[in-house]
Amino acid sequence: MGIDLDQLRTFVAVAEAGGLSRAAETLHLSLPAISRRLTALEEELGVVLLARSSRRVVPTQLGREFLPRARRLLDELEESLLGIRETAARRRGVVTLACIPTAAYYFLPATLAAFARRFPQVRVRVMDLSAEGVIDAVATGGAEFGIGMEGAQHPEVLFRLLRQDPFVLACRRDHPFAARRAPLRWSELEGERLVGVSRRSGNRLILDRALLPRGLSLTWSCETEHLSTSLGLVEAGLGVAVVPRLALPRGAHPVLVARPLVEPLVERGTGLVLRRGFTLAPAARALLDLLTARLSRPEVPRRGLAAG
């Protein structure tokens, strides 16, 4: 059978995203490349997996039945590859990872828990640093690799983009914005008490570069150094916050909800920070592979903070 893993990944991405364009952004592929993979997969199976219209793409009945099998096949491959890495790493060693706080606080713990189950003898040191701090730690050898933000540059490091996260508005459930189902426009935030990060933050730089040329100047009533702190202040009722989606808690939250922001859509790129010419040890390579798979995986719609 001529089915390959790229075809399966593409089918899962399109089915979960509900459209070719969003899946193309996630996989960093062109629309024709997405279409070719889907067509080849359907021709090999002899069935139609996705019903296409001018507005969206949805799985057919056979597609809905095949989707969990495709996910399981991809997960089993990930497990097998990690098993090979486990043998090479001899289940021992120390890995030092530099990470921006938004990824370290919400995304990283679940990934490290999965890694610890496979490599119980490998110790992991996490350096939670600013975006510039991650770059410096990797460049100077303080960390073997890092998770950082797009934009920061250094001649000794490479940045590999893995995902784009839109900035969203986080507010309490009793705030008027919480009842909104349609996306909010940035202009609607004028007059709101905004909790933001300081000008030293890379997130603030992204917002200023996107909004100021459009004449949108937000007034920050309170500033923090870390996005996780700003969410705590929002929970305490001190205002609303603008944060990248990756910064949101992964599960349901009893107090906070998030709403999309548009006009313009502002996104933050997150990815791997690697030192040029540096070869990772087996244990570090295994952790890098796991982080890459999980960080670049399309998010399955879930009930929680992001959904409200």
Amino acid 272: pLDDT: 92
Amino acid 254: pLDDT: 86
Cβ burial of 41 (10 Å; 0-12, 13-18, 19+) is: buried
pTM: 0.63
C-alpha closest to that of 271 among 251, 253, 252, 246 = 246
For residue range 247-291, list pLDDT tens digits in order: 877 667 888 999 999 999 999 888 999 999 888 888 888 899 888
Other CB atoms within 10 Å distance of the CB of residue 297: 18
Residues with Cβ within 8 Å of 115's Cβ and at least 6 positions away in sequence, in order, are: 122, 124, 286, 287, 290
Other CB atoms within 10 Å distance of the CB of residue 123: 12
Amino acid 220: pLDDT: 87
Amino acid 273: pLDDT: 95
290: part of which helix (H) or strand (E)?
helix 282-296
Residue with tokens 């606080």: 105
- Helix, strand, or coil (residue 35): helix
Q: What values do phi and psi take at 256, rounded to 5?
A: -100, 150
Amino acid 54: pLDDT: 67
Amino acid symbol at 259 = R
Cβ burial of 234 (10 Å; 0-12, 13-18, 19+) is: buried
Quote the CA–CA distance of 79 and 242 in Å, as a whole number. 36
Amino acid 300: pLDDT: 40
Quote the CA–CA distance of 269 and 27 in Å, as a whole number. 14
Contact 119, 150 (CB under 8 A): no
Per-residue pLDDT of the chain (308 residues; tens, 9 = 90+): 567 788 888 888 888 888 888 888 878 888 888 889 989 988 888 899 998 876 778 889 988 888 888 888 887 777 666 666 655 554 567 899 999 888 877 678 888 998 998 888 888 999 988 888 999 999 989 999 999 988 777 889 999 998 888 999 999 999 999 998 889 999 999 888 999 888 778 888 888 888 888 888 888 888 888 788 888 899 999 999 999 888 877 667 888 999 999 999 999 888 999 999 888 888 888 899 888 888 776 554 333 454 44
Contact 186, 211 (CB under 8 A): yes
Amino acid 227: pLDDT: 81
Quote the CA–CA distance of 279 and 275 in Å, as a whole number. 9
Burial 50-79 (b: 16+ CB within 10 A, else e): beeeeeebebeeebeebbeebbeebeeebe
Question: Please, what are the domains in the chain?
Answer: 5-84 (1.10.10.10), 91-162+269-296 (3.40.190.10), 165-267 (3.40.190.10)
Amino acid 29: pLDDT: 84
- Helix, strand, or coil (residue 269): strand
Amino acid symbol at 51 = A
